[in-house]
Amino acid sequence: MASDTAELIRQARAWLAEDPDPETREELSALIEAEDTAALADRFGGMLQFGTAGLRGELGPGPLRMNRAVVIRAAAGLAAYLRKQAASSDGGPGLVVIGYDARYKSADFARDTAAVMTGAGLRAALLPRPLPTPVLAFAVRHLGAVAGVTVTASHNPPRDNGYKVYLGGTGGGAQIVPPADAEIAAEIAAVRSLADVPRAETGWETLGDEIVDAYLARTDAVLTGGSPRDVRTVYTPLHGVGRDTLLAAFDRAGFPAPVVVAEQGDPDPAFPTVAFPNPEEPGAMDLAFATARATSPDLIIANDPDADRCAVAVPAPGTATGWRMLRGDEVGALLAEHLVHKRASGSFATTIVSSSLLSRIAAAAEQPYEETLTGFKWLARVDGLRYAYEEALGYCVDPEGVRDKDGITAALLIAELAAELKATGRDLTELLDDIALEYGLHATDQLSVRVTDLSLISDAMGRLRRQPPATLAGLPVTRAEDLAGGSGKLPPTDGLRYTLAGGSTSAGRCRVEAARVVVRPSGTEPKLKCYLEAVVPVDAPDALADARITAGAVLAALKVDLSAAAGL
């Protein structure tokens, strides 16, 4: 035990000796002096793993935290990877564009990255200020960069930060996927000491507002000239960086200025009004609902803190708040239907955990359709992509401009759709009813379990692999797939997919056409996530109510049965 403590202290002192950040040095010095072995083990018991989500973790000293030392190593590894990729090229030094949000340490991490890239002989350009992630993704393509980095933890808790990498060239400006992630990780692991990493004091470029102006000019491609613009919105950036860019985009497009939720309008890394800065989390939208009750808009729009996601709420008279949050799958279907009516042509794509409804919309429009693993790193690489979405509020409506989810352009497109419907005396809810009548009601839900002990997730996955359920919600499981070995066009992933037969069920009044369950660990949070879908045919408008009751009952029963099967 004494030897373990001594080894922890030795590792911590070695880290302290080269830590460039006074704040994390002070924190680590206090832990060493107190010989707080539990806290030290929590910070030095391994390393943050660099993968297809880049890096993400809690701020603090040590290799298992996000800090300047970890970021400098990550930047050095990325620079080494880029230099090797360019070794056979006759071109000059490649450009790396770096963006960042308003979280704690984001600006520091961005400057450190610029210093490392410049020191490695690459060209580096910082975005002019904290900006939405889609602006960075746009800049990679617009400037012909070899890579882009954005420093953000998206909608994670305030004490987290992250580091996401995009590749230009053959990467198309999308997030990294294998094998690039493993190759970059190997270069990071090869960094022996921060003293071995050249860091320039100057020499990188700080871009001006022209890059934001170019992004805003590109948003024109999303909308139809001359379409209605009369739609009143309440908007919240949830203390993130989306406000100024979204307001500028709405003004440029000719929409009335959204009413911004005052308490959440300014960037604030503490996220003081929400437990989790994610519009999907309970309570996160309460202030937006209150603002809407005072101003009576047509819809509510929310971005997550780095503005790559877009949430939408619609009036719901008679409910407790007077508003209903649309699910990501509902917004995904609405945008798809809108694009179809605008005669959009190309591949429509979504992920294996999103609703199957998009496949029916694409088929009816005679457009190609593809399913990928979760994440826009996969969706962005679909051949001939025209539109992609994932249920976690991510939408790509202009893949030629941004090869990633974009909460600003998605907000513009949903506003255009709402304005067009309003001009004919209709609304988004009525269009959702029409979609259900045409394609069947595709109801989705999630069972999401947040844990502090990650072994609970692996235990649950192991239990389901050993004993896959034969029935769920009274419906027989006709196919149980372990996605760890890959499936069809899908590369291997830690996930399970269950296909259920249709039929009558005691859980509702109507016949169920089909149901589906996907179970996977979250890639960015300590959660086990289960994605549920029930499809119920709808023969006539007056059958919608019963179809919704049936679908809701089936989804509820799926949660109960799946929880029992997984031992949750």
Catalytic residues: 154
Give the Cα separation of 370 and 361 in Å (integer): 12
Q: Which of 71, 70, 65, 125 is nearest to 96 (CA)?
A: 125
Angle of helix 328-341 relative to helix 407-423, nearest 10 degrees, comes to: 70
Q: Which of 112, 81, 49, 333 is nearest to 184 (CA)?
A: 81
Give the Cα separation of 563 and 568 in Å (integer): 5
Kindly state the DSSP code that residue 214 receives in the 8-state scheme: H
Residue 257: which residues within 8 A CB-CB, separation 6 or more? 247, 250, 251
- Strands (E) across 130-170 are located at 147-151, 160-167
Residue 566: which residues within 8 A CB-CB, separation 6 or more? 460, 461, 463, 464, 519, 528, 530
Under the phi-then-psi rule, with left for phi > 0, alpha for psi from -120 to 50, and beta for the rest, what region is 394? beta
| Cα–Cα separations (whole angstroms), residue 432 to 315, 329, 436 | 14, 11, 6
Confirm if 282 and 218 have CB atoms less than 8 A apart: no
SS (H, E, C) 6-32: HHHHHHHHHHHHHCCCHHHHHHHHHHH
| Cα–Cα separations (whole angstroms), residue 71 to 18, 25, 64, 178 | 13, 15, 12, 20
Residue 225: which residues within 8 A CB-CB, separation 6 or more? none
Q: Residue 545: how many CA atoms within 13 Å on its side-chain side?
A: 1
- Please give the single-letter amino acid code of residue 388: A
**453: which 2 tokens?**
């002990």
Confirm if 351 and 370 have CB atoms less than 8 A apart: no
User: Starting at the edge strand that comes first in sequence, how are the strands of the sheet with 496-500 ordered?
Assistant: 441-450, 527-536, 514-521, 496-500, 475-482, 471-472
Give the Cα separation of 528 and 447 in Å (integer): 8
Give the Cα separation of 272 and 277 in Å (integer): 9
**403: which 2 tokens?**
């090869």
Give the Cα separation of 478 and 457 in Å (integer): 25
Kindly state the DSSP code that residue 221 receives in the 8-state scheme: G
Give the Cα separation of 178 and 166 in Å (integer): 12
The DSSP bridge pattern shows strands 347-351 and 471-472 to be unpaired
